[in-house]
Homo-oligomer: A and B are copies of this chain.
């Protein structure tokens, strides 16, 4: 089960970003990776490579369980995995916990032995290491029609901890984002993974939800994933996207819906790119679930768009402070 072909490992984009002109190698980055220097537009390359990573499933001190690329570095969500359409990903999953668990992807191909489902006997026993193989494919023709490939904004999650559907694992934090790029897809400067999991975002509520940061003009990518038991809608202030595979239009006549609010129900995922602060300026912009009681209960966070030079725009710190206090300190002050 542990044979490893001699292929390159996934690496952090911050390491690889300077390695190519226009086309860069795939990456695995955490949701809060440091900024990448922006340059000429960079695009995804042609897939076909087999890539290997090791993921560690770890119990966290607070009772959560999470995936990480190195021991002691598990995060919620887990590492953002990114491949080119056509690539194969071999994941050595090291279970460091005393619970059975697995990793199950959306959007890619796998045999039953990599399904991650208990009924297919595809999971890690406590303290077991097991390899899962995910393959991706480009669109292909069958019966004279084009069948879809794997390119998309996807995700992965446990399918075995607690119940046969991984409800215990998903609840505790065993999930992450997966992006499969089509050759030529535009690469962003920043990437953020937003998981609506029951009444929390990335298992946190206000004021502990993530504050995503970018400079005005940077190309920012959001990957949104839904989990848990409740319906949600993701809303981002002052930015919008096309409701299609890339979030962009193919031209001014593309009939795609343009949205700034979209269902993010359990198992759903979508992604899009925006130019931070485009035509709206820098500032502390909110993203939140638009279900009113969910937002009021803490399903909200900030997308901080800094000035192009990285400095804080006027009033932004005050806005952040008000946001972080809003659950406990009803606003009473005067304003302009």
Binding site for B on A (CB under 8 A): 1, 41, 100, 106-107, 109-113, 115, 117-121, 123, 125, 135, 137-139, 142-152, 163-167, 170-171, 186, 219, 226-229, 231, 233, 235, 237-238, 240-246, 248-263, 265-270, 274-275, 278-281, 283-286, 288, 290-296, 300, 315, 318-320, 322-323, 326, 331, 334-336
The residue on B at minimum CB distance from A130 is: B336
* Contact between A165 and B263, CB atoms less than 8 A apart: no
Q: How far is the CA of A216 from the CA of B64 in the complex (A)?
A: 40
B148, B163, B322: the one contacting A249 at CB < 8 Å is B148
* Contact between B249 and A335, CB atoms less than 8 A apart: no
B219, B255, B257: the one contacting A254 at CB < 8 Å is B255
B135, B148, B254: the one contacting A241 at CB < 8 Å is B148
* Contact between A112 and B255, CB atoms less than 8 A apart: no
The residue on B at minimum CB distance from A282 is: B112
List 5 A-B residue pairs with CB atoms under 8 Å apart, sorted by A's residue number: A115-B238, A139-B249, A142-B275, A233-B265, A262-B268
**Contact partners of A294 in chain B: CB under 8 A:** 229
**Contact partners of A125 in chain B: CB under 8 A:** 334-335
Interface majority SS (helix, strand, loop, mixed), chain A: loop
**Contact partners of A106 in chain B: CB under 8 A:** 235, 260-261
* Contact between A219 and B143, CB atoms less than 8 A apart: yes
Q: How far is the CA of A240 from the CA of B117 in the complex (A)?
A: 18
